Structure 1
Amino acid sequence: MKKILFIGNSHTYMNDMPELVRRMVENAIGEECQVFMLAYSGRSLKWHMDEEYFSERFNILHGRYDYCIIQEYAHPMTDFEDTIEYTHEIIELCKKVNTTPIIFETWAEKDKPENQSEMNRRYRKIAEDEGAKLAPIGEIWSNVLKKLENESGVDLYYIDGAHASGIGDYLVAMTLTKTITGKLPDASFRESFDFTLSDYAWNHVKLSVEDEGITIPENIASIIRDNIEKAFS
């Protein structure tokens, strides 16, 4: 059995993304997977380790996790020195219990694509300096965006131009699954979640898991899979 802890904010909990990772991992390796989450709206890793330190500490040291996904505040990017410091603190806790840390590389806002290269640089440097795995989500995201330019009605972004849509979180979960297992789920796996409602109220979401399920179009799923495979080749 694989156990995964997610630490982050709304980019982690949007559309119940950790549950999608669980399903993808189980499909990819045929092994049970459990996911756990410490994610709070608009919070940075500094907040996690200053304000919620004992919660983070307890979960990492006693949760018996195989992997810890570390997702930093993204829009706007935080002070890089803070990201380095607090990512390091989390990774040091992970090392004490042989939990593999994974750096979650975020994507730039829709109207600020120029920020992606700096995000890539930051997260790659941290992963290299810490000897941690990198989930190159932002790099794959920007590549897939280019491929989808002529696809009408298809968007990786939620309506706010910052968070992921159901399609965007399919890409996120696929990339994390590849990072964790070295594999992708079957090509037939095209399910995702979209828990948003048409009124766009942030705290007003679908209450039923059955209601949030969506199916990714086959051609879109193929584009995402192909770009993930290229990124890891």
Structure 2
Amino acid sequence: MKKSWFFLLVVFTFQVIYPQDFPINLPPKISKGLKVLFIGNSLTYSNNLPKLVKKEIRSKGINLKTEMIAYPNYAIEDHWNDGKVQKLIAKNHYDFVIIQQGPSSQEEGRNMLLSYGKKLKQLCESKNSQLVYFMVWPSRTYYHTFDDVITNHREAALKNGALLSSVGEEWKGYFDGTGDYSYYAKDGFHPSIKGSKVAAKIISQTLLKVKK
């Protein structure tokens, strides 16, 4: 009897010291791969953010196909008025559509997040796609508007029933906690490669619903 208890104790101790690294159980749809459309401006195409997201998700053993439509200084209103995004969403059956525009701390930007986000949400729903807001950040010059950037993105995602990838909020937490602003490129607005990699990780977590 004592030998049996000793054997169980040894096995238990071994498991505690050397735990197994169990894989994450993902929904079948995600396990088979994802298709994502990125809609935005230079904050999205800088450092090829979709490629970084693809690399991050593939590191989890999941295939990801991405498309991007992004132009300098574009807001989601501009993309909607161009009409290209509607055609892409209608014919390509994306799992996720990620939208991004400038910081949107002011009322005009807030209204665009709400109104054009609603239009895109309705279109995505009709095609079984999930809409994701990519929360960005203000320039360092307008750092004092950061809280409004966060608030307006949260509101838009909540009111339109969309997912929110809180990249900007994560950036601010890092800046305020460390005083290190290296997520910014030299121009004080666009992301450095380090900042884009952080953004890619956060967006990937949003898509896979994997908590940090």
Shift of 1:131: 1.1
1:108 aligned to 113, 138, 141, which one? 138
TM-score normalised by the chain length of structure 2: 0.80
Query: Does 1:69 find its partner at 2:98?
Result: yes
Match of residue 170 from structure 1: 197
User: What runs of 5+ residues in structure 1 fail to find an aligned partner?
Assistant: 185-228
SS in structure 1 opposite 2:94? coil
The question of 1:159 aligning with 2:186 is answered yes
Separation of aligned partners in 2, 1:171 and 1:81: 27
Of structures 1 and 2, the larger Rg is shown by 2
In the TM superposition, 1:1-150 aligns within 5 A as 1-28=33-60, 30-50=61-81, 52-53=82-83, 55-74=84-103, 77=106, 79=108, 80-149=110-179
Between the two proteins, the alignment pairs up a number of residues equal to: 179
Normalising by structure 1, we get a TM-score of: 0.73
| Structure 2 Cα separation of the partners of residues 114 and 46 of structure 1 | 25
Q: 1:78 to 1:106 in 2, by over 3 A?
A: farther
Please tell me whether the aligned partners of residues 75 and 109 of structure 1 are also in contact (alpha carbons under 8 angstroms): no
Distance 1:155 1:21, change over 3 A: same
Residue type at the aligned position of 2:65: Q
Instruction: Give SS of 1:18's match.
Output: helix
Work out the CA distance in 2 between the residues paired with 1:2 and 1:163.
27
Cα shift at 1:39:
0.4
SS of 1:112 mapped into structure 2: helix
- Listed as ranges, the gaps of 5+ residues in structure 2 are 1-32
Alpha carbons of 1:144 and 1:36: their partners in 2 closer, same or farther (altered >3 Å)? same
| CA distance in 1 between partners of 2:205 and 2:112 (Å) | 28
Distance 2:112 2:74 in 1: 13
Q: After TM superposition, give the deviation of residue 78 of structure 1 in Å.
A: 6.6
CA shift, 1:87, in A, is 1.2
Amino acid paired to 1:27: S
- Displacement of 1:72 in angstroms is 1.6
8 Å Cα contact 2:105/2:152 also seen in 1:
no
Instruction: Identify the residue that residue 191 of structure 1 maps to in structure 2.
Output: none
> Secondary structure at the residue paired with 2:141?
coil
- Percent identity (aligned): 26
CA separation of 1:36 and 1:77: change in aligned 2, threshold 3 A: farther
C-alpha distance 141-97 of structure 1, shift in aligned 2 (>3 A): same
Q: Please list the CA deviations of residues 14-51 of structure 1 after superposition, one character each: whole Å capped at 9, or x if unmatched.
A: 001110001111112x121111001001111111111x
Q: Distance in 1 between matches of 2:116 and 2:98?
A: 13
Distance across 2 between alignment mates of 1:121 and 1:178: 21
| CA deviation after TM superposition for structure 1 residue 144, in Å | 1.0
**Contact 1:25/1:33 (8 A) holds in 2:** yes
Higher helix share: 2
More displaced stretch, 3-12 vs 74-83: 74-83
